Structure 1
Amino acid sequence: MYVGVLELDVVLGDVRSLKQKRSVVRPVIAELRRRFDVAVAEAGHQDLYRRTLIGIAALSVDAGHVGEILDACERQVAGRPELELVSARRRWLGPDD
């Protein structure tokens, strides 16, 4: 089994409160979960209202498939006009870990 973890550091557009932040981040997380069948959550910057860290995990018996899923998730977030993707970081766990 291969597990890939993707951390997306994101700056939000015109957001002025934590309530507005939730209204932007929740649909993004729900869409990733629905479209790609991945585990996803807001994993950092919870106290900042214009920034978030979205954590995504995918697993498969094929490392290439995990990479394709994480690539698609990254493209999906980067393509949203209300978000600015600052950085993307990946980690891998394989059968020997």
Structure 2
Amino acid sequence: MATTQITEASIREALIERLKASHVEVQDQSGGCGQAFTAVIVSTEFAGKPSLRRHRLVNAALKDEIAQIHAWSARCLTPEEWEREKLSSEPRLGS
């Protein structure tokens, strides 16, 4: 497997393409070296699925990327959950 630099943008693009995500926030937690990321992912693909299934979908979609980084954390929300959260508080990753 060829190793490529994983970036916030490359993860965001992959999630939008592979999970039809309507909103994605990715933050590099490693100080720019691309080894630890956290994300908020909003997708209709998560509807009706418990948290574990949502995370498994994300991990499968980012299998190659996750294999190249040290740490990965994601919050997986449906569009309805995201709208409720935006009304009740500020997004956790900032915009």
Interval containing the TM-score (normalised by the shorter chain): 0.3 to 0.5
With normalisation by structure 2, the TM-score equals 0.46
Computing the radius of gyration over CA atoms, which structure comes out larger, 1 or 2?
1
From the two aligned structures, give the one with the greater strand fraction: 1
Higher relative contact order (CA 8 A, sep 6+): 1
From the two aligned structures, give the one with the greater helix fraction: 2
